[in-house]
């Protein structure tokens, strides 16, 4: 392996045994939807204040090692005048950037999706790097239905993730590879397990083809859970199925698996992570988080669009980050809620 010290320094700053990643990279339509739920207009100033509030939370760096930002946020500043990436790094939280351009239907595979944004990626990464970003994130989405994902869907999505990851590493940017298998549907945990195993097999085959250095990337996958319309699984079941799939498919060279929350409630996401870490014993990877909604939902409710509630919003974020840090170590208990 050729060691790129720039990439390795970023991995060293982001991967440890207590902290996780905050996903604050909601696109314009998604943040508008989040704000609408608390009757707040998605103006540029409201977005700036909200994301600045997240990044200036006192003590957040104790539990969070990286933050995924939306393009707009790289250029915005806190009330104190620092850019938001600078505010993050002042707490040793590594700033990163979402680089995909959203998804659409995959031609030739009805029901499957594909993500856009490879054109001009190297040039964009060079600009983001100047603005302080040290890692990137790209998400491919896999719906589960009777016929999806198809083999074409599996192959095409894996190819996009691998091409993106290779460009990132060539640019001195650590790639977060996110194959999200959606929870939507009536499928049971067995079906989810088979799909996620197939997805990850294809992803790592493509990463190998494109010479992506596994030691200098982070995987952001779904946990193995039943569909949202199916009966729930216990945290112990989620842990058992998840670890079985990851032991079969994820090479030991990958330094960290940072799960997405994917529609789980904040409490569920923490409880499932805790069960995974309790069962993992001597897993070769760190098992952590890259949660968006599962960290931010309580923050939005506490803030409620009133800037006088800034401290309450920050307290809500710090609490969830701390509880997930405990879950990282298998030491969380629902009584701490």
Q: Is 220 tagged catalytic?
A: yes
For 102, 103, 141, the CA distances from 108, given in Å and listed in that order, are 19, 15, 16
CB-based contact 216:173 (threshold 8 Å): no
Dump the DSSP string for 153-173: HHHHHHHHHHHHHHHHHHTT-
Nearest alpha carbon to residue 50 among 26, 14, 21, 18: 26
Q: Is 236 tagged catalytic?
A: no
The 3-state DSSP class for residue 121 equals helix
Report d(CA 229, CA 233) in Å as an integer. Answer: 12
Q: Which of 26, 140, 159, 178 is catalytic?
A: 178
Dump the DSSP string for 30-53: HHHHHHHTTT----HHHHHHHHHH
Q: Which of 98, 137, 220, 310 is catalytic?
A: 220
The residues facing 136 across adjacent strands are: 97, 175
CB-based contact 196:245 (threshold 8 Å): yes
Report d(CA 337, CA 328) in Å as an integer. Answer: 16
Q: Compute the 3-state secondary structure of the chain and give helix, strand, coil in percent, each to the nearest 5.
A: 50, 15, 35
Q: Which residues are catalytic?
A: 178, 220
């Amino acid at each position: 392996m050729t060691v790129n010290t720039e990439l390795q320094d970023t991995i060293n700053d982001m991967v440890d045994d207590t902290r996780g990643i905050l996903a604050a990279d909601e696109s314009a339509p998604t943040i508008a939807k989040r704000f609408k739920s608390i009757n707040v207009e998605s103006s540029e100033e409201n977005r700036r204040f909200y994301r600045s509030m997240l990044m200036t939370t006192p003590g957040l760096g104790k539990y969070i090692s990286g933050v995924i930002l939306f393009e707009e946020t790289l250029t915005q500043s806190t009330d104190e005048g620092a850019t938001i990436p600078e505010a993050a790094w002042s707490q040793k939280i590594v700033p990163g950037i979402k680089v995909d351009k959203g998804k659409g239907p995959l031609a030739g595979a009805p029901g499957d999706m594909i993500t856009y944004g490879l054109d001009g990626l190297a040039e964009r990464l060079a600009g983001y790097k100047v603005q302080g970003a040290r890692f990137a994130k790209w998400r491919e989405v896999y719906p589960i239905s009777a016929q999806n994902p198809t083999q074409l869907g599996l192959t095409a999505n894996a190819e996009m993730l691998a091409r993106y990851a290779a460009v990132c590493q060539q640019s001195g940017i650590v790639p977060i590879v996110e194959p999200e298998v959606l929870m939507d549907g009536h499928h049971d945990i067995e079906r989810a397990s088979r799909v996620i195993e197939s997805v990850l097999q294809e992803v790592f085959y493509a990463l190998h083809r494109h010479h992506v250095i596994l030691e200098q990337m982070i995987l952001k996958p779904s946990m193995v859970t039943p569909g949202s319309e199916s009966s729930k699984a216990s945290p112990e079941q989620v842990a058992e199925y998840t670890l079985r799939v990851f032991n079969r498919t994820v090479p030991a060279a990958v330094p960290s698996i940072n799960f997405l929350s994917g529609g789980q409630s904040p409490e569920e996401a923490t409880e499932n992570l805790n069960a995974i870490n309790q069962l993992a014993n001597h897993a070769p990877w760190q098992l952590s988080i890259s949660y968006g909604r599962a960290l931010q939902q309580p923050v939005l409710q506490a803030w409620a669009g009133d800037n006088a509630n800034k401290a309450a919003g920050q307290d809500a974020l710090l609490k969830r980050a701390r509880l997930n840090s405990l879950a990282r170590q298998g030491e969380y208990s629902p009584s701490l809620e």
